Amino acid sequence: MKRVLMAMVEVGNGHKAPAESVKRAMEELFPGEFFLHVSDFARESGALVSDRALKKAWESAGRHYRAFRFLYRLVELLPAPGRWYARVAYADFFEKGALFIRDFAPELVFSTYTISSFVAAYARRLYGLDYKLVVFVADPFDAYSWWVEKDADAFIVASTEAADRLASHGVVKDRIFVLPYPVRKDFESAGNNRNAICREFSLEPSNPILLASGGGMGLGKVASYTEHLVRSNLPLNIIFLAGRNRELYSRMKALEKADSVCRLRVLEYTDRVVELTSSCDVVMGKAGASTAMEAAVCCKPVIFTDWIAQNDLAIIKHFTDNGYGWYFKKPAKLVEFFSGNYRRRLEEASGRLRSAGYKSGVDDIARFLADFL
């Protein structure tokens, strides 16, 4: 049984979800052929200093987005010093991660996180190991310099935009493979349970359902935008996902009113994202790979409230340029949107997404990895 390590760091859902989705697909397509392990790599290897630092940085990203945008520009301008910084700042990750890989003895490492790729390449050089390294670029429409691990055997990207960005950083094109983004397969097959959702949450069936999400950590400005909509009392149904953010959950829960024209329902971390996405009319939140691509597969337009770094801005650009969604820099513009002829605009955006034919790439990537071995 061939051993495959799927290495990521659980900062948000955009690195974990692709790894887990591909793992499930490989188990379904090739039962008994592979030993597959998804690793929250820094934590599991015992690199707790790096693990805390990386996760703390992610949790603070929504508050310090200007710093992240500056760092993006800096690593693009000076990629070599940026790599040196990563090696020094996350030294325990490199050393303990390399030991973990040596002991795991994989035939293939599938990395969905930038620094995981650095560590995997370092381990191979340090111990003279003979495994293949495949990097999945988790940014669907971008590939900044830290995605470029020069010793990787292959790079999987979700778009020609990301492929071009990799090539601009010197990656030879025969190592770049464009495959659809690997959202969970059940997003493709999920039925529209809109009527049942309306009954369960006492929503008004004649009004659209807006699914507002701050992701697993409840990050971004989506709460502020939702508050403006609720106070405007427009005829809308809003399901707000607060994730694991208890403070945010309490703050938004206080706005729920049973008799309001704008009906708000607030949920904590939930395993019903597939059902809610497939049953809503539009998704709203900060620009993020998983949320945006899950919505695209379900043919749901997206309203973007904010972005952290330029890799997220690339998502906004792709959706707005193609008429799949909107970016409102101010909550007042969102209220203005829902005060106008928004139903036609939502229908047109959904139609464009249906014509685009987004699908999950989990099976494609699973077969690619199996063949690559």
In the block, tokens 């691509």 appear at 293
Mean pLDDT of the chain: 94
Mean pLDDT over residues 82-98, rounded? 96
Q: What share of the chain is helix, strand, coil (3-state, %, to 5)?
A: 50, 15, 35
Residue 220's pLDDT is 78
Domain ranges of the chain: 2-181+360-372, 186-356
Assigned fold of 2-181+360-372: Rossmann fold (3.40.50)
Residue 243's pLDDT is 85
According to DSSP, the β-strands at 2-8 and 34-40 are: parallel
Mean pLDDT over residues 90-111, rounded? 98
Which of 2-16, 35-49, 96-110 has the lowest average pLDDT? 2-16
Domains 2-181+360-372 and 186-356 in one fold: yes
pLDDT over 90 (residue 190): no
Quick one: what percent of the chain has pLDDT higher than 90? 88
Tokens of 77: 């301008």
Read off the pLDDT of residues 170-183 as tens digits, 9 standing for 90 and up. Answer: 999 999 999 999 99
pLDDT over 80 (residue 364): yes
pLDDT over 80 (residue 168): yes
pLDDT over 90 (residue 219): no
Residue 258's pLDDT is 66
Residue 218's pLDDT is 60
Residue 13's pLDDT is 83
Residue 217's pLDDT is 64
Angle at alpha carbon of residue 267, lines to 261 and 273, rounded to 5°: 105
- Beta carbons within 8 Å of 350's beta carbon, 6+ residues apart: 299, 300, 301
Residue closest to 358 by CA, chosen among 289, 305, 314, 295: 295
Q: Is 135 exposed, middle or buried (0-12, 13-18, 19+ CB in 10 A)?
A: buried
Read off the pLDDT of residues 270-327 as tens digits, 9 standing for 90 and up. Answer: 889 999 999 999 999 999 999 999 999 999 999 999 999 999 999 999 999 999 999 9
Q: CA-CA distance, 307 to 69, in Å (whole number)?
A: 10
Question: Which one of 3.90.420.10, 3.40.50.720, 3.40.50.2000, 3.40.50.300 gives the CATH number of domain 186-356?
Answer: 3.40.50.2000
